[in-house]
A = this chain, B = another copy of it.
Amino acid sequence: MATTVADILKANNLSITDSRKSILELFKLSKGALAHADIEKKSSAQFDRVTIYRTLQTFVDKGIIHTIPTADNSVLYALCKDDCSAGHHHDNHVHFICDSCDTTYCLDHVTIPSVNLPEGFTQKQTDVVVSGVCKNCE
């Protein structure tokens, strides 16, 4: 019994609506991370820009998706596969951006390496974004 998108919404105390179902479905079907613009294009039904913004924000708040920092400072989102919850993300994995096909992957099994900070600096969170060529493009 695979978890449906409705299950996920229910588990997070979110009303089950068309837009949330469609957008969450998109994430489940997508190989890589999605930007706001991708969702506007890919979703068969047409949702208002504002609805998409709010849906994404809600999903981030609930720990359903996480944002990914990129070198060109575009905003990307991907499903949380770790056990994230409202207010507590712990997506401690490396992200990979393919220079060729532009897909952004969550490398869920590549853990964040530890970093030796100078005296006086305390680490709380570490983001690692690697770019290069992905396995489909090599």
Contacts and interface: CB of A to CB of B under 8 A. Distances in A.
Copies in the complex: 2
Interface bin, chain A: 35 or more
A121 B134 contact: yes
A85 interface: no
Contact of A115 (B67, B94, B117, B121): B94
B131 A128 contact: no
Nearest to A105: B121
Contact of A123 (B109, B114, B117, B130): B130
Interface in A53-76: 67, 69-71, 73-75
Interface of A: 67, 69-71, 73-75, 94, 96, 99, 107, 109-110, 113-135, 138
